[in-house]
A and B are shown apart, each in its own frame.
Chain A
Amino acid sequence: MALQSLDIIRRSATTTHSPNVRAEATTEVAKLIDVSKCIGCKACQVACMEWNDLRDEVGTNVGAYQNPHDLSENSWTLMRFAEYENPKGDLEWLIRKDGCMHCADPGCLKACPSPGAIVQYANGIVDFHEENCIGCGYCITGCPFNVPRLSKRDKKAYKCTLCSDRVAVGLEPACVKACPTGAIVFGTKDDMKDHAEERIADLKSRGFDQAGLYDPEGVGGTHVMYVLHHADKPEIYCDLPANPRVSPMVRLWKGAAKPLALGVMALTALAGFLHYIRVGRNETHASDEAAAQREMEKAHE
């Protein structure tokens, strides 16, 4: 998608307004992934590579279902499989569809130094514009979910777009379209929260007391949410962070430090200029040269 979508609410490394006349008419969207309904079929992975025309390298089988082994510039979503032994001693196979969470407060966008390489639409989707990407990888440094990947070929960063191109014309993301069990649903963020409530009530009635919604506050909420049967322990789902937030280091580096450092540098230069016009240069006069000559002659005697 391009800036012409006219509903950009935030743009990386930009200090002025983004084009967003249409923002008022847009509602926030969300993808809800119900982990308890997922059967790990990977139809979402296939739909993603098909819609986005991505082909990852064929990997190697290491005796696990997870394939490929990690997200990459060509794999924007990935089923992560965890074998969890619950306190009762039973095995639970926890499958989590990993990918960009589309944070309301995106660390990637905050860290990005290139104007317009990362944008956030009024509907909440965080999108990379690779034509503006310079390949510095600051987005990787900023992301609390370890999502963006630099392409080995073109050195640009890639990640899930939440099918911003499909959503813009009223379609649901490709992964949602393909999911055979209804584990992935898509709609307005409010509707998805309501739907999640029903699912959580159902899970609780089936004995999952700690079932809950994963929409972490630390990043302002996300536009990809999970229904987890063990919402008290998100880490067991292949290290889903319990309290994700943009690192304080990144906040300092790409927050307060920016105006402060630039201001002090400008003041240092200004101090030099003021010194020049108020005190003036320190010049060597004829009397200094004469004194030096006297000493030199004396030394020769």
Chain B
Amino acid sequence: MSDEIGRDNTIVRYSAGDRTNHWVVAICFVLLALSGLALFHPAMFWLSNLLGGGTWTRILHPFIGVVMFVAFILLSMRVWSDNRMSERDWQWLKHWRDVVNNREENVPEVGRYNGGQKLLFVLVVCMLGLLVSGFVIWRPYFAPYFPVGLARLAATLHAICAFAMICAIIVHVYAGIWVKGSVQAMTRGTVTPGWAWKHHRAWFRDVIRRGQ
């Protein structure tokens, strides 16, 4: 048996390192999204209490952002090679109606990640946008070095990227709840053979082939 198949007949999907890395990004993201919304819309300003008030929100938000970016890059490197779009993934995406209605019978086989999960990699672009624009509006340290016109553009871009990312992450979180067993994959690292067979059959077969 390989390392991927545990003694209790479960399959290891995420190592302890993967899980730690993922949750560092996730915790940073939640703090950033909530504190960022506080500064985005007056109706959300009460969320600034999360980091200890408006001024602490202004101080901490960018530092948490840098931590998230670094952790996200490390996480991307871990999963990059498994997330390249293939013809099979486009076919899978064409069956989105079957997917959302839990009718997998007609859906093409899926490898370690499905087409939807791979699309989430668009977030890399958002992350880069947030990092670059974030530095341009980071006061008091970096903003004074940029012209005000650029700061205006950066503030708008920061809001747009954050908006796209929050929407994508809402979908990501819900998908984890929707497909039962996914949360366990990211909290305990393991999935049942049935889960792997049902949702990522090509990956499941790779695992048992390697396990021989």
A-to-B contact residues, CB < 8 Å:
13-15, 111, 113-115, 132, 134-138, 140-141, 146, 150, 152, 155, 247, 249-250, 252-253, 257-259, 261-262, 264-265, 268-269, 272, 275-276, 279-286, 288-293, 295-296, 299-300
Of the residues B39, B163, B194, contact of A265 by C-beta under 8 Å? B163
Greatest chain A CB density within 10 A among B100, B101, B139, B153 is at B139
Q: Is the CB–CB distance between B42 and A115 below 8 Å?
A: yes
- Chain B contact residues: over half helix, strand or loop, or mixed? helix
Known contacts A269-B170, A275-B178, A276-B177; A249 and B156 CB within 8 A of each other: yes
Does B192 belong to the interface (CB within 8 Å)? yes
Q: Is the CB–CB distance between A272 and B174 below 8 Å?
A: yes
Q: Is the CB–CB distance between A288 and B197 below 8 Å?
A: yes
Q: Is the CB–CB distance between A279 and B102 below 8 Å?
A: yes
Chain A residues positioned under 8 Å from B163 (CB to CB):
257, 261, 264-265
B96 → chain A closest CB, angstroms? 12
Q: Is the CB–CB distance between B40 and A282 below 8 Å?
A: no
Interface segment out of the listed B20-28, B50-58, B65-73, B87-95: B50-58
Q: Is the CB–CB distance between A282 and B178 below 8 Å?
A: yes
B183 → chain A closest CB, angstroms? 11
Return the chain B residue nearest A137 by Cβ: B139
Q: Is the CB–CB distance between A299 and B209 below 8 Å?
A: yes
Greatest chain B CB density within 10 A among A15, A250, A283 is at A283
Does B152 belong to the interface (CB within 8 Å)? yes
Chain B residues positioned under 8 Å from A296 (CB to CB):
193, 208
Of the residues A113, A257, A280, contact of B39 by C-beta under 8 Å? A113
Does B64 belong to the interface (CB within 8 Å)? no
Chain A residues positioned under 8 Å from B59 (CB to CB):
135
Q: Is the CB–CB distance between B40 and A137 below 8 Å?
A: no
A290 to B54 Cα, complex, angstroms: 55
Q: Is the CB–CB distance between B42 and A281 below 8 Å?
A: no
Q: Is the CB–CB distance between B148 and A13 below 8 Å?
A: no
Chain B residues positioned under 8 Å from A300 (CB to CB):
212
Known contacts A150-B140, A247-B152, A272-B170; A292 and B212 CB within 8 A of each other: no
Of the residues A141, A264, A283, A285, contact of B155 by C-beta under 8 Å? A141
Chain A residues positioned under 8 Å from B127 (CB to CB):
none
Q: Is the CB–CB distance between B140 and A135 below 8 Å?
A: yes
Known contacts A268-B167, A272-B174; A280 and B102 CB within 8 A of each other: yes
A223 to B104 Cα, complex, angstroms: 67
B144 → chain A closest CB, angstroms? 8
The interface bits of chain B over 175-200 (1 if a CB of A lies within 8 angstroms of the residue's CB, else 0) are: 00111110000000000111111110
B208 → chain A closest CB, angstroms? 5
Of the residues A113, A140, A291, contact of B197 by C-beta under 8 Å? A291
Known contacts A141-B151, A299-B208; A289 and B170 CB within 8 A of each other: no
**What 10 pairs across the A-B complex have the smallest Cβ distances?**
A289-B194, A292-B193, A272-B174, A134-B54, A292-B197, A288-B194, A137-B139, A249-B152, A13-B42, A113-B39
Q: Is the CB–CB distance between A135 and B42 below 8 Å?
A: no
Interface residues on B, range: 35 or more
What are 10 A-B pairs with beta-carbon distances under 8 A? A113-B42, A115-B45, A252-B156, A253-B155, A261-B40, A262-B40, A269-B170, A272-B177, A284-B198, A296-B208
A152 → chain B closest CB, angstroms? 8
Q: Is the CB–CB distance between B166 and A292 below 8 Å?
A: no
Does B123 belong to the interface (CB within 8 Å)? no
Q: Is the CB–CB distance between A281 and B170 below 8 Å?
A: no
The interface bits of chain B over 150-170 (1 if a CB of A lies within 8 angstroms of the residue's CB, else 0) are: 011101100110010011001
Q: Is the CB–CB distance between B194 and A281 below 8 Å?
A: no
Chain B residues positioned under 8 Å from A293 (CB to CB):
193
A291 to B195 Cα, complex, angstroms: 11
B177 → chain A closest CB, angstroms? 7
Q: Is the CB–CB distance between A13 and B58 below 8 Å?
A: no
Known contacts A113-B39, A249-B153, A275-B178; A295 and B139 CB within 8 A of each other: no
B2 → chain A closest CB, angstroms? 12
A80 to B54 Cα, complex, angstroms: 35
Of the residues A15, A146, A279, contact of B100 by C-beta under 8 Å? A279
A259 to B140 Cα, complex, angstroms: 28
The interface bits of chain B over 66-110 (1 if a CB of A lies within 8 angstroms of the residue's CB, else 0) are: 000000000000000000000000000000000011101000000
Does B171 belong to the interface (CB within 8 Å)? yes
Chain A residues positioned under 8 Å from B153 (CB to CB):
249
Known contacts A285-B194, A292-B204; A141 and B148 CB within 8 A of each other: yes
Known contacts A113-B38, A137-B140; A284 and B195 CB within 8 A of each other: yes
